[in-house]
């Protein structure tokens, strides 16, 4: 089977992983309390600290004091980390303001509603969050603001820096879901006023699903109340154990090994080069799909822009709603996997990812396969025009 026939995973998580990442999970098992595991945890920590604090095009540190924050790895996906952030920083009587313009912003709000007094700043999925509404909602009585930087469900990149300024003006702890941006795009912790940043192994870090990571800045460390959180998510406990390169409970040893290898590969590539690559590939997807005659889904205005790791495209009438299976079946037949819309966007959009270690030929193949499947389903698309536009970037 040649490269053209090999299975290509373009879903926005899990994403393809390298052979070295896969092979690391097959090493002999060790105790999660052994010095061997502590070495693995430290490797993962060091690599994650690099990703969290040096995700800039210049390669310079994005934090004033790299030793002031703490990098944690969790035995659980990013939803666990989201809940840990909220419950360690806000109690039942505290207000959490959650910004919602997609599925994962809504998830943050739903977590807050279970554990605190929740206020939503909400707009239609795929539309820009109104910054004036954020400024009105966040007050000196607000304890935490939650925000999704890269809204995976809609392909939008939300304005973290603007919200961070509002949060700092009111001395509010700012928690950011960077799940599909950290490791693939710029992320400026201190300049953007971020107190807690969250990411997931299976997204831009390009590791298998099952673990997640958090950067806790010094302001947040001072405000954590682990006793108020669920037992498994006590961040005071996680921080104490992380200082020993351990987790409080049994660790998923193979997954920690794979994460360590994945973040070491990121550091080897270098964040500036990785950011530029992801931006080129995202532009190739966007321009390629538009050139063949398709429309992008998000409505980008103001400080909100298109994602550099997830591209969301509106489905034309011929493959809309119940007819969407005609497109997805055609893509599957070509041994490529893409994602549809989530929740009420099912049958309305499709999504592709360029997270991880995708090559230019793989991105080009994604554009071509979608175009061919569209044409087979009766959509009038210009596949060659789409490929030409994508190649301008690749």
1 part of a folded domain: no
In the numeric block, which tokens belong to residue 368? 């071509």
Omega before 14 cis (within 30°)? yes
| Phi and psi angles of residue 131, each rounded to the nearest 5 degrees, phi first | -65, -30
Looking at the structure, tell me whether residues 233 and 332 fall in a common domain. no
- 144 and 260, same domain (yes or no): yes
Residue 4, pLDDT score: 55
Please say which residue of 219, 234, 269 terminates a domain: 269
Q: Is there a single domain that holds both residue 300 and residue 383?
A: yes
CATH of the domain at 128: 3.40.640.10
- How far, CA to CA in Å, does 390 sit from each of 44, 62, 370, 386? 35, 32, 13, 6
284 is a domain residue: yes
Give CA–CA dist 23/257, Å, rounded: 10
Task: Specify whether 230 is located in the same domain as 340.
Answer: no
Regarding whether 202 and 78 lie in a shared domain, the answer is yes
From its phi and psi, is residue 214 left (phi > 0), alpha (psi between -120 and 50) or beta?
Answer: beta
CB 159 within 8 A of CB 130: no
Q: Looking up tokens 């398709």, which residue turns up?
A: 294
* Domain stop point among 253, 269, 285: 269
User: Quick one: 221 and 276 in the same domain?
Assistant: no
Within 10 angstroms of residue 295's Cβ, the number of other Cβ atoms is: 11
With respect to residue 3, please indicate whether it lies within any of the assigned structural domains: no
In this structure, the answer to whether residues 121 and 210 fall within a common structural domain is yes
Domain count, the chain: 2
Domain for residue 160, yes or no? yes
Low-confidence stretches of the chain (pLDDT < 50) are 1-3
- The strand pairing partners of 144, in sequence order, are 96, 173
28 and 172 share one domain: yes
Residue 54 and residue 80 in one domain: yes
pLDDT digits (tens, 9 = 90+) for 344-373: 999 999 999 999 999 999 999 999 999 999
One domain, residues 241 and 306: no
C-beta separation of 38 from 246 below 8 A? yes
278 and 142, same structural domain?
no
Instruction: Give the domain-ending residue among 234, 269, 304.
Output: 269
Cα–Cα distance between 294 and 339 in angstroms, integer?
A: 16
- Please, which residues have CB within 8 angstroms of residue 223's CB and are 6 or more apart in sequence? 89, 173
169 CB contacts (<8 Å, ≥6 apart)?
none
Question: Quick check: is 207 in a domain?
Answer: yes
Cα diameter, the chain: 61
**Do 264 and 286 belong together in one domain?**
no
Domain range for 302: 8-15+272-391
Is 209 inside a domain boundary?
Answer: yes
On whether residue 2 sits in a domain, the answer given is: no
**What is the per-residue pLDDT for 69?**
95
Residue 64 burial by CB count (10 A; 0-12/13-18/19+): exposed, middle or buried? exposed
- Give the global pTM: 0.95
Q: Looking at residue 296, which CATH number applies to its domain?
A: 3.90.1150.10
Q: Is residue 134 in some structural domain?
A: yes
């Amino acid at each position: 089977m040649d490269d053209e026939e090999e299975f290509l995973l373009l879903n926005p998580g899990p994403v393809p992983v390298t052979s070295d990442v896969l092979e690391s999970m097959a090493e002999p098992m060790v105790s999660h309390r052994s010095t061997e595991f502590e070495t693995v945890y430290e490797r993962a920590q060091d690599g994650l600290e690099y990703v969290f604090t040096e995700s800039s095009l210049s390669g310079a540190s994005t934090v004033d004091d790299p030793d002031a924050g703490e990098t944690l790895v969790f035995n659980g996906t990013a939803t666990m980390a989201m809940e840990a952030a909220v419950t360690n920083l806000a109690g039942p009587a505290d207000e959490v303001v959650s910004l919602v313009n997609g599925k994962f912003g809504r998830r943050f709000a739903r977590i807050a509603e279970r554990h605190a007094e929740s206020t939503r700043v909400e707009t239609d999925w795929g539309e820009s969050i109104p910054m004036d509404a954020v400024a009105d909602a966040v007050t000196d009585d607000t304890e935490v603001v939650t925000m999704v930087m890269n809204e995976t469900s809609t392909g939008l990149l939300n304005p973290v820096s603007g919200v961070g300024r509002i949060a700092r003006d009111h001395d509010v702890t700012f928690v950011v879901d960077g799940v599909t941006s950290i490791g693939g795009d710029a992320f400026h912790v201190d300049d953007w006023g971020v107190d807690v940043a969250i990411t997931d192994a299976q997204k831009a870090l390009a590791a298998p699903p099952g673990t997640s990571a958090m950067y806790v800045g010094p302001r947040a460390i001072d405000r954590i109340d682990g006793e108020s959180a669920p037992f498994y998510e006590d961040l005071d406990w996680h921080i104490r154990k992380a200082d020993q390169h351990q987790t409080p409970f049994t660790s998923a040893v193979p997954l920690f090994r794979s994460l360590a290898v994945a973040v070491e590969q990121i550091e080897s590539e270098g964040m500036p080069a990785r950011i530029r690559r992801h931006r080129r590939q995202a532009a190739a997807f966007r321009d390629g799909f538009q050139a063949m005659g398709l429309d992008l889904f998000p409505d980008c205005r103001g400080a909100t822009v298109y994602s550099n790791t997830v591209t969301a495209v509106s489905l034309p009438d011929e493959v809309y709603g119940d007819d969407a299976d005609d497109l997805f079946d055609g893509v599957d037949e070509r041994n490529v996997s893409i994602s549809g819309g989530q929740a009420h966007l099912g049958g309305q959009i499709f999504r592709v990812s360029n997270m991880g270690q995708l090559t230019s030929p793989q991105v080009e193949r994604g554009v071509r396969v979608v175009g061919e499947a569209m044409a087979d389903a009766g959509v009038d698309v210009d596949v060659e025009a789409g490929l030409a536009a994508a190649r301008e970037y690749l």
